[in-house]
Amino acid sequence: MLVALVDANNFYVSCERVFRPDLERRPVIVLSNNDGCIISRSNEAKALGIGMAVPFFKVRDLVRQGKVTVFSSNYPLYGDMSRRMNETLMAFSPDIEPYSIDESFVGLTGVERAKLIDYGQDLRATMRRWTGLPVCVGIGPTKTLAKLANVCAKKMPEFAGVCDLSDAALRERAFRALPAREVWGIGHSAANTLTDLGIHTVADLCAMDAGTARRALSIVGSRLIWELRGEPCFTLETIPQPRKGVSVTRSFGNRITAFSAMSEAITTFATRAAEKLREDGMAASHITVFMRTTHHPKPADAFTGYANSRTVSFITPTCDTREMAQAALKAAEAIWKDGYRFAKAGVYLGDLMPFERVSSDLFNVNDREESKSLMKAIDGINNRHSRNGRDAIFLAASGIRQHWRHRSDQRSPGYTTSFTDLRRVRA
């Protein structure tokens, strides 16, 4: 097996720059949903000391001083750019596994060993020309090594954006230079465990005794050590697997203290979740509702938080917005407590199955047919008559004013997904 990981540099910032070339070589950041924290930074922003996942209010001064350009996240744009990335990759290999919005694994069977670096450089240049996006390419005999090679390609300028770790000698050198934390699957907690064991570099990790690794890091750790040694534990998955759950969760712009507002929010989340489910042609067996207060209490504040969740099962798996909303409200009522200031809530749909495989409930075959055509009509109207595909027609219980909603003040236009936002070019 030989596989490449192609990963965009500072993806969300790069997407914004494609349509704002004036922002090249300048500090740019993109904020999370609800403008809460920073989730993408240009290299220039990183150089200013702006950290990943830092709450936006901590850098607001830099923005006010005009030192940093800031965008709210624009997922329709990023999703479309992601699609373009994968289309470009298909010109290079028939075996593509999209792994996240900004990275894909690419199968390299048939590429000559000696030409791997040229292949990677050609891919980078083509990607830049066809999509405007800068990417780095990591190559290796396992997915974990390809991920690690990508880290090298990004961080070490001598690789010029393409790193091939299929050579064992080069691998040893890189392993000694990289902290264990850089390995795919080693998070905060595992890194601390490793430090306690005296394991600091990837080289230390790779040389770890199998039994110790199993005890300290469980099966996950054993697998990644095999992968580092060049023995594949993960195969290339070119056929997308159906998802196992759907969740819709939000932090609130204003804390919620009244059940009426909470029920609006929960109805809205259930509606959105049901829409996602129908897009995939799936039905859910149960719905879980959760709500919680902030988990960032001030030290001086004696106030203790509250968090709870409740699951309601459907007699027959469903994707009907009305059933979802009804069940969600029942769950929300059960866990609601007066006197708290709720900061976040959400719904989760689990145990999914294809809608067409749901065996009809003996007693409501007609209801099911009616539900199917009603949902189809609603989705049709929303797709035709609303900008975001969901606001033309909705349950009244979702509320109109929605004071709890967050805003996204700095959102860029839908350059590639909305006719009204198309770029104008004069010649």
Partner DNA sequence: TCTGGGGTCCTAGGACCC
By the criterion CB under 7 A, which residues form the site for DNA? 32-34, 36-37, 39, 53, 55, 57, 99-103, 147, 183-191, 218-220, 243-251, 255, 276, 294, 296, 309, 311, 343-344, 346, 406
Closer CB to DNA, 26 or 411, in the complex: 411
Closer CB to DNA, 231 or 369, in the complex: 231
Closer CB to DNA, 143 or 171, in the complex: 143
Smallest separation (angstroms) from DNA to the CB of 291: 12
Cβ proximity of 379 and 275 under 8 Å: yes
Smallest separation (angstroms) from DNA to the CB of 354: 15
Smallest separation (angstroms) from DNA to the CB of 162: 18
* Residue 420: both structure tokens together: 């009204």
Cβ-Cβ contacts under 8 Å for 156 (sequence gap 6 or more): 163
Pairing of strands 135-140, 3-8: antiparallel
Closer CB to DNA, 33 or 238, in the complex: 33
Cβ proximity of 175 and 203 under 8 Å: yes
Smallest separation (angstroms) from DNA to the CB of 105: 11
CA distance 375 to 400: 21
Instruction: List the end-to-end C-alpha distance of the chain, in Å, as a whole number.
Output: 49
Smallest separation (angstroms) from DNA to the CB of 83: 15
Closer CB to DNA, 171 or 272, in the complex: 272
CA distance 211 to 214: 5
CA distance 243 to 46: 34
Closer CB to DNA, 78 or 111, in the complex: 78
CA distance 347 to 276: 12
Smallest separation (angstroms) from DNA to the CB of 269: 8
- What's the Cα-to-Cα distance from 293 to each of 248, 344, 391, rounded to whole Å? 17, 7, 28
Alpha helix (H) ranges present in 140-201? 143-155, 168-177, 188-196
